[in-house]
Amino acid sequence: MKTIEELLAEGVDGKRVFVRADLNVPLADGLITDDGRIRAVLPTVQALAAAGAKVIVASHLGRPKGAPDPQFSLLPAAERLGELLGKPVAFAQDTVGPAANEAVDGLEPGQVAVIENLRFNAGETSKDDAERGDFAEQLANLADIYVGDGFGAVHRKHASVYDLPKRLPHYAGYLIATEVGVLKKLTDDVKRPYVVALGGAKVSDKLAVIDQLLGRADRLLIGGGMAYTFLKAKGYEVGISLLQEDQLPVVTEYMERAEKNGVELVLPVDVLVSGEFPDLKGKTPANPSTVAADAIPADQEGLDIGPETRKLYASKLADAETVFWNGPMGVFEHPDYAEGTKAVAQALIDAPGFTVVGGGDSAAAVRTLGFDEKAFGHISTGGGASLEYLEGKTLPGLAALED
């Protein structure tokens, strides 16, 4: 795929450049709680603006139903982008209507505009090719050139991700070029030992990537809510812990295949349990207890890996030359259940090799728990996209940029 470096060499002065970013930031009461995705697209926007382009930034946010919904407005993200750029950013209150056209027409070389949430138009996410194409045509009328830099959305066959680059000269932004380069280190040119730590709530979300990793990784460390389905498959009592019983046959087969393939599949040896889910707003003390992984009381729920598991997982990461981590080890949003996730994050920092935090909740945890982002080899902006790439899937947004 052509990159932004090639585009800048060709020249963009006075050209309208449409940047498909990922500004899908978390909001609480209208305030951004993590601006990592906005900061991730800054290098691309700054370089284009500095070269004299008229920069049009577009993104989705949340899951509106194909119509305007104030709670999903991109206005807070546009304002934060302006703060980070250190200059005003125009904001259009629609996507392809009069406001968007007025904002774009008013741009001078080097200026930036953000158009409203793309998902306020049903054509963005439509499964109908014609409807998506119609929306992409309208977006194409706003610009001369397309730059894809929203890695968190490249696994979606959406109008602005897949159909629009087919209608304009297209290039990969700095972020996408970096993300793809990192993922190739996890698939094509892996240095060993290669250790993968997987957490998060549902084992079903990770089955496809585990299937692939059983032929690639040297060790798989399992934590988070998904661990309890594995523990149940071993015949352990898991109490009222998160459990996907319908996945037990698949998990059992994976454990057998791991042993056959010589992949070390490591499960918790102890867990923190409680009889109730913690209060994540007031964060009142939860007072959990630690029990062995094979001794979870029937009326208790596992909410984090225990101290012995933290030591075990750290030891399994200590010699790793390549590490991929996706998914927290517990309910890290509450301080009483954050230690497992902290331990894995610290183990990545201490590991000698190349470490990748696979986006989503893992990236949020790194920032929430106060770790220095620069201490990791790479923090991805796209959890779902990263996983699908590792699963071996073709990502529509990348395929469109390669044409």
| Binding site, annotated residues for ATP | 206, 302, 333, 359-362
Token digits for 363? 């990236």
Burial of 204 (0-12, 13-18, 19+ CB in 10 A): middle
Q: Catalytic one among 200, 358, 360, 397?
A: 360
Binding residues for substrate: 22-24, 37, 60-63, 119, 156
Beta bridge partners of 221: 197, 266
Concerning whether 37 is annotated as a catalytic residue, the answer is: yes
Residues 41, 297: Cα–Cα separation, whole Å: 47
CB neighbour list of residue 110: distance below 8 Å, 6 or more residues apart: 49, 50, 52, 53, 54
**Strands 54-58, 112-115: pairing kind:** parallel
Closest CA to 360 of 339, 341, 387: 387
Q: Catalytic one among 224, 225, 239, 384?
A: 384
Residues 290, 293: Cα–Cα separation, whole Å: 9
Residues 163, 165: Cα–Cα separation, whole Å: 6
Residues 333, 195: Cα–Cα separation, whole Å: 25
Binding residues: 22-24, 37, 60-63, 119, 156, 206, 302, 333, 359-362
Concerning whether 202 is annotated as a catalytic residue, the answer is: yes
Q: Catalytic one among 15, 16, 20, 37?
A: 37
Give the Å distances, CA to CA, from 304 to 28, 161, 224, 264, 271.
25, 37, 7, 21, 6
Using an 8 Å Cβ cutoff, are 17 and 143 in contact? yes
Give the Å distances, CA to CA, from 17 to 37, 113, 118, 341, 400.
19, 10, 16, 40, 17
Q: Catalytic one among 39, 185, 202, 257?
A: 202
Give the Å distances, CA to CA, from 5 to 106, 110, 155, 183, 399.
26, 17, 24, 20, 19
Report, as residue numbers or ranges, the catalytic residues: 37, 202, 360, 384
